[in-house]
Structure 1
Amino acid sequence: MKQGANEMMLDKLKLRKSESTFRSLQTKNDLYDFSSNDYLGFARSAELRQAINEALEKHHQISNGATGSRLLSGNSVFAEQLEEEIAGYHQAANGLIFNSGYTANSALFSCLPQKGDTILYDEFIHASVIDGARLSFASRFKFSHNDLEDLEKKLKKSTGVCYVAVESIYSMDGDSADLIRIAALCTKYQAHLIVDEAHAFGVIGTGLVDSLGMQQDVFARIVTFGKALGLHGAIVLGTDLLRDYLINFARPFIYTTALPFSQLLALKIAYRRLLTYLLNKSTLHYKSSLLKANLPFQHQARCRNNIGAIFCLLISGNKEAIRFSRILQNKGFDVRPILSPTVQKGSERLRICIHTHNTDEEILKLCYHIKQLSQ
């Protein structure tokens, strides 16, 4: 007898539960935050919220929603000026705002590479890049994480126009890409480098590309607003030509209702606040160093070179990672497990995110409990 949709779903969910990979939604809690991407505390900032509300009060005539896609009724002079302003902050020619980082990546990688082209991506790249690449007609291959020899091997075999996708700071391990050497390889083999700055933006200045002065070495950058900026949306930075191309061929842009004015205004205010914050950016780096210095020795080695705010403790096995996480949560610390298949089987881990709002006492207590567990 042919299996129905309900039977299929039940079987797959039962398998997830048996493998300890079943996902469920959780509401916010009152634990110490060591899991969110709100690195600078912008999402919880009462001062930022007040500034946004005061600015909105001056725009009573603006509609609540965008009313349509950017190509229909959802565009505005304000949106285009904001894109130019943000591009200027990053020393890029232009940019195009998308509704999320996932949408931006899936749009870029689904429409830019053509049949006969090649996409090479780091094996730890975000799922949005992989999903976008799957929608394209290009050949796609992953290279070993941060392995330049493997990347070069695949560059030699690439066909058509080649695009190389990396994250400046990786969301699961917190380590950084060797952008200088990767860019040199891309130049050598005439490949186009695309960098996702989601977890570097606001943590390493306005991004690792900007910090290294590599704006001219990168074909496109994706900067997301849902992490350090504490809001929502993303922008693809590149040339005027790339912007025109995305407007014409990026289906997630063409067929999506635009962000409302209220969100665009919030982005403008938060961006300017971020630039002010970056003039005195030592707080987050100090707290990250405090965590690294007080982790158990076996975990320090893995995190020693992390320059961002993400750290991971390898706890092999889904059940064990979940057990460690629950113990820490019972102690008051919101530390989440990252399980397979999100990461490779055997590399399950606890992911720890540091924020400016984490106190020294919270960080030291967390490290103490991790040491107790490690023993």
Structure 2
Amino acid sequence: MNDSAVALSARFFVNYTIDNDWGQVVYLSDDRYVFAALTLLVSVIGIFGGIYCLTNACKNKDFRVRSTALTVNLSSSTILLCGIVCPIHAYTLLQPRDNFFAQEEHSGACRLIAFLYFFGMTFCAYAHTSIGINRMFAIITAEHRHMRFLTSRPTTACLILLSWVISGVTYIVPLLSLYGEDFGYSKRTLKCSFSSHGSAVYVIAFKIIYAVLPFVTVLLCYLIILSLILKSKRRMFYSMRVNVIIPERSIQPVELVRQTRKKKAEIRVTTVAFVSWLVLMLCFVPSGVHGLFFQSMTGLQTKLGQSLTILLWFGCAINPILYAFLNTYKIKRTTGKGWCIQHVCVPAMNRKRRGTAISMQLDTFCTDHDAGRKHIETAM
């Protein structure tokens, strides 16, 4: 055993090793039981979180109408990762040598588990990418009504289908053992993962598709959304400064109700989507940065490396819970401020004359749906 291996063992692991019959020594940590328990806990959180998110989408009308397909897409990635991959990873931690997937005759099953792991992680990232693109389209449509096709059902279906296709096609090469890339039971990490790399081009493409592309795409989407919102606010502020006179009855009350509710709902859903994505990135970045400094599989198996991996899985597990909870909280908060079933109260434009200047103030008007009457309170 060389000096570097001894130093690695003394620093990160307990003082015992095993011979794995593959011509090399693998160090096992006593803390693998702790990591296995944490992995199972993350698995339970992810499964129940995905179910909770789907249940919320079915129960809440506003949430169901606006976000069902994208919510199912996000929850599916979490249930796939936490329901299948995490329990198997915990099993291989507890049985590193004599487990089902380490046997040669079961290499096909191990190959499938490795594929599901990377597919689930990539699928989770691109589920947020499809949500980010959808939110950008929604904000654009709110300002430009002639572009409604951007938020149509076919467009949303294409975004969801694209997230599935990209996540699956990326890992066809190692799944079929093409170009020297292969999935299998890794001799260095003692789990189902990449067992060999034979193409530098594929490795670069894999890293770009897996981490860089979804992160950059979602970041650009939310930057565009922020710029559109700021531009809209500046335009409104400028209109008030130059005393733009809006003719009486230029905006019908029903149309004003519809526009106001739509803008409020789009801003609410966009805020929730951004917070959910930000939490996932906060859990993903530490693991990604650590992976850049420890290129070897042995370095990734340190206590710090395994802890950051569990943090990443935890971020994927709590994402549906966070997404559903924030949507429910925002809806209840909006309801408490006057959005009700029988009387829909929204901001209305009220003008107050002060000499020759015209200033616009916000007031409230309510539409009585039961009697079909409209009552507009105006302060002149």
TM-score higher than 0.5 here? no
Q: How would you bin the TM-score normalised by the shorter chain?
A: under 0.3
Structure with the bigger percentage of helix:
2
Larger RCO of the pair (alpha carbons < 8 Å, separation 6+): 1
Rg comparison, structure with higher value: 2
